[in-house]
Amino acid sequence: MPLFIGEFFYTLDDKGRVNIPAKFRKATSENADSTYIIQYGRDKCLYVYPMDVYQNKVIEVIDKLSEADPVHRAYMSLLGSKSIDVTLDKQGRITIPPKFLEYAGIEKDVQIIGAYNRIEIWDPKIREKYIQEIEQSGIDLEEKIASELNP
**Residue numbers of the domain that contains 74:** 4-123
CATH number of the CATH domain containing 93: 3.40.1550.20
Domain assignment present for residue 131? The answer is no
Domains in the chain, number: 1
Three-state SS sequence of the chain = CCCEEEEEEEECCCCCEEECCHHHHHHCCCCCCCEEEEEECCCCCEEEEEHHHHHHHHHHHHCCCCCCCHHHHHHHHHHHHCEEEEECCCCCEEECCHHHHHHHCCCCEEEEEEEECCEEEECHHHHHHHHHHHHHHCCCHHHHHHHHHCC
Domain assignment present for residue 147? The answer is no
Domain assignment present for residue 144? The answer is no
Which pLDDT does position 33 carry in this prediction? 67
pLDDT at residue 57 tops 90: no
Confidence of residue 91 (pLDDT cuts 50, 70, 90): very high
Residue 138 and residue 39 in contact, taking contact as beta carbons nearer than 8 Å: no
Domain assignment present for residue 129? The answer is no
What mean pLDDT comes out for the span 90-110? Answer: 96
Domain assignment present for residue 137? The answer is no
Domain assignment present for residue 134? The answer is no
Which pLDDT does position 89 carry in this prediction? 92
Domain assignment present for residue 133? The answer is no
Quote the mean pLDDT of the chain: 90
Neighbours of 93 (CB within 10 A): 18
Between 124 and 58, residue with greater pLDDT? 124
Domain assignment present for residue 86? The answer is yes
Which pLDDT does position 27 carry in this prediction? 78
| Residue whose C-alpha is closest to residue 101's, from 15, 19, 24, 35 | 15
Of 44-53, 105-114, 115-124, 133-142, the least confident: 133-142
pLDDT at residue 35 tops 60: yes
pLDDT at residue 141 tops 80: no
